[in-house]
Amino acid sequence: MDISRLTVKEIKELAAGPKGAGPEFRQALAEDKRIGVLEIYRKLLRTETAIIYETRRLTKMFTYEKDLKKKGCYPIAGVDEAGRGPLAGPVIAAAVILPEEEAPVGLNDSKKLTPLRREALACQIKKTAQAWSIGISSVEEIFADNIHQASLIAMLRAVLGLTLKPAHVLVDGFKIKHLACPQTPIVGGDVLCASIAAASILAKVTRDGIMDSFHSIYPQYGFDHHKGYGTQEHLEALSIYGPCPIHRTGYKPVQECLRL
């Protein structure tokens, strides 16, 4: 393939289209002596390498699901929660049943993603999942039962809310009490397991949306910034205004404000 008469701009446009993946075009790029063309070639190679690594990463994240399916377990739900650590707001859990070994590109632990990327992935997960569900434990339940038990209750509610009954549940960290179907707790599951990672994203995006709504009611605390976590901004607001109805009064920083 002869590209010698083409400008660097024209070659760049070709590289962005279907011809960019063609072996003859690639060979022509590699043999061209122009610096701009060689940079286009290197960029194509970098992109190709990144896609290969991402494909391998996502494939590896389905290890737990594949092993269970080999044993006859299907469908499989992943479960995770968001909001154990904040000083305010509910704890939210999500349960997700992904299509077989199919996940959106970029799927990862929600904490490793930007807010915009999380929201985009949450939309993809909801569109492609075989089933998904959200479970909530309120601030009152967190106070009455402690955050650990409230998190387990939220996760149980998420699983029970699925329209498709799972044959097995993969849970981030802890076993869910009173769950009838078999389950496997996986420490660090939001990084290791595709189904749990998907659940972590839905839980985080849902909770962030709830905290944004609370910000419109209690704007003085800055919930739209920190989502209820104990940042310096939040602690300063607590010291000035005291707790509001969605603060977790069992948490030490909130208790200290109640004593003032």
Measure the CA–CA gap between 176 and 74, rounded to whole angstroms. Answer: 19
Confirm if 101 and 59 have CB atoms less than 8 A apart.
Answer: yes
The backbone region for 72, taken as left when phi is positive above 0, alpha when psi lies in -120 to 50, beta otherwise, is left
Q: List the structure tokens of 134.
A: 């959200």
Q: Quote the pLDDT of residue 44.
A: 87
Q: Quote the pLDDT of residue 259.
A: 61
Residues sharing a CB contact under 8 Å with residue 46, sequence separation 6 or more, in sequence order: none
- With 0-12 / 13-18 / 19 or more C-beta atoms within 10 angstroms meaning exposed / middle / buried, residue 110 is buried
- Peptide bond just before 75 cis, omega within 30 deg: yes
- With 0-12 / 13-18 / 19 or more C-beta atoms within 10 angstroms meaning exposed / middle / buried, residue 221 is buried
Query: What does each of the 260 residues of the chain score in pLDDT, given as a tens digit?
Result: 888 888 898 888 888 887 766 788 888 888 888 899 899 888 888 888 878 888 888 889 999 999 999 999 999 999 999 999 999 999 999 999 999 877 788 888 888 899 999 999 999 999 999 999 999 999 999 999 999 999 999 999 999 999 999 999 999 989 999 999 999 999 999 999 999 999 999 999 999 999 999 999 999 999 999 999 999 999 999 999 999 999 999 998 898 887 64
